[in-house]
C-alpha cells in the first residue's frame, strides 16, 4: 500500500525524490535522443551528403572566382576603345567571358537561393556594359563625343561596381551562414 506523507519532512523527501527521478529521466532522454540522431544520420548518409555538398559549393565558388578573373581581363579592354583603337572582336570576347562568368554565378546561386535578386541586378549591369565593347568606331579621344561616351560608360560602370559589391556581399553572407550551419550541425 502507498503511504501518504504526513509531515513536512516527508513531503520534502518525496518532492526531492520526484525531482531527482525527473532529472534522471530528462538526462536519459537527451542521451537516447542524441544516440538516435547520430544513428539515423549515419544510416541515411547525412555525413556523405554534407561533405559532397560542401565540396560542390567549394568547386562552384572556385569556378566563379576563375570566371571573374577572366571577365575582369576582358573588362580592362575598354582602354583600347577609349584610345580610339577598338578590337573588332572585343564585343564577342566580352560576351563570351561574361556568359562564362554568369553561368558560374548562376550555378552557385542555385545552391544559395537568397542571392537571386542580387545576381539579377548584377547580370543586368554586366549586359549594359557590353554596348561599350561593341563599338566599331568609337569617338575620337578628347572630343566632346568622347567625353559623353566616357561619361555614360563611367555611370554604367559605377552601377556595375555597386551591383557587384551587393552581390558579393549577399553571396559572402549566404556562404558564411551555410558554413556556420554545417559547423553547428
At residue 12, does pLDDT exceed 70? Answer: yes
68 vs 29, higher pLDDT: 29
| The pLDDT of residue 46 | 67
pTM for this prediction: 0.63
| All cell numbers assigned to 91 | 564585343
Q: Which pLDDT tens digit goes with each residue over 121-157?
A: 989 998 898 888 777 777 788 889 888 888 898 899 9
The number of folded domains in the chain is 2
Q: Which domain holds residue 141?
A: 46-184
Does residue 16 sit in the same domain as residue 96? no
What CA–CA distance (Å, rounded) separates 100 from 15?
Answer: 70
DSSP 58-92: HHHHHHHHHHHHHHHHHHTTHHHHHTT---TTHHH
Average pLDDT, integer, range 30-37: 90
What confidence tens digit (pLDDT) does each residue in 72-87 have?
888 887 777 777 776 7
Percent of all residues in the chain with a pLDDT value above 70, rounded to a whole number: 91
Confidence of residue 173 (pLDDT cuts 50, 70, 90): confident
Find the angle CA(70)-CA(141)-CA(144) to the nearest 5 degrees.
120
- 98 touches 71 (CB < 8 A): yes
- Asked if 63 and 38 sit in the same domain, the reply is no
Residue 182 has pLDDT above 60, yes or no: no
Helix (H) and strand (E) counts in the chain: 6, 0
Cα 185 to Cα 183: distance, rounded to the nearest angstrom: 6
| Shared domain check, 130 and 64 | yes
Q: Are residues 68 and 29 in the same domain?
A: no
pLDDT higher than threshold 70 for residue 100: yes
Cell numbers that stand for 50 in this block: 554534407
| pLDDT of 30 | 92
Tell me which residue of 88, 73, 96 sits closest to 138, measured CA to CA: 88
What CATH number is associated with residue 140?
Answer: 1.20.120
Amino acid at each position: 500500500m502507498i503511504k501518504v506523507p504526513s509531515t513536512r519532512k516527508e513531503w520534502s523527501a518525496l518532492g526531492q525524490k520526484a525531482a531527482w527521478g525527473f532529472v534522471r529521466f530528462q538526462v536519459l532522454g537527451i542521451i537516447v535522443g542524441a544516440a538516435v540522431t547520430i544513428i539515423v544520420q549515419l544510416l541515411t548518409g547525412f555525413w556523405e551528403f554534407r561533405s559532397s555538398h560542401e565540396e560542390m559549393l567549394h568547386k562552384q565558388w572556385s569556378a566563379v572566382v576563375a570566371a571573374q578573373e577572366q571577365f575582369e581581363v576582358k573588362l580592362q579592354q575598354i582602354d583600347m576603345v577609349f584610345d580610339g583603337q577598338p578590337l573588332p572582336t572585343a564585343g564577342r570576347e566580352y560576351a563570351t567571358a561574361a556568359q562564362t562568368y554568369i553561368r558560374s554565378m548562376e550555378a552557385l546561386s542555385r545552391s544559395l537561393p537568397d542571392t537571386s535578386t542580387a545576381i539579377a541586378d548584377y547580370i543586368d549591369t554586366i549586359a549594359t556594359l557590353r554596348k561599350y565593347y561593341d563599338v566599331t568606331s568609337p569617338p575620337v579621344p578628347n572630343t566632346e563625343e568622347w567625353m559623353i561616351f566616357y561619361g555614360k560608360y563611367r555611370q554604367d560602370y559605377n552601377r556595375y561596381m555597386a551591383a557587384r559589391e551587393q552581390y558579393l556581399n549577399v553571396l559572402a553572407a549566404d556562404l558564411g551562414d551555410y558554413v556556420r550551419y554545417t559547423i553547428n550541425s
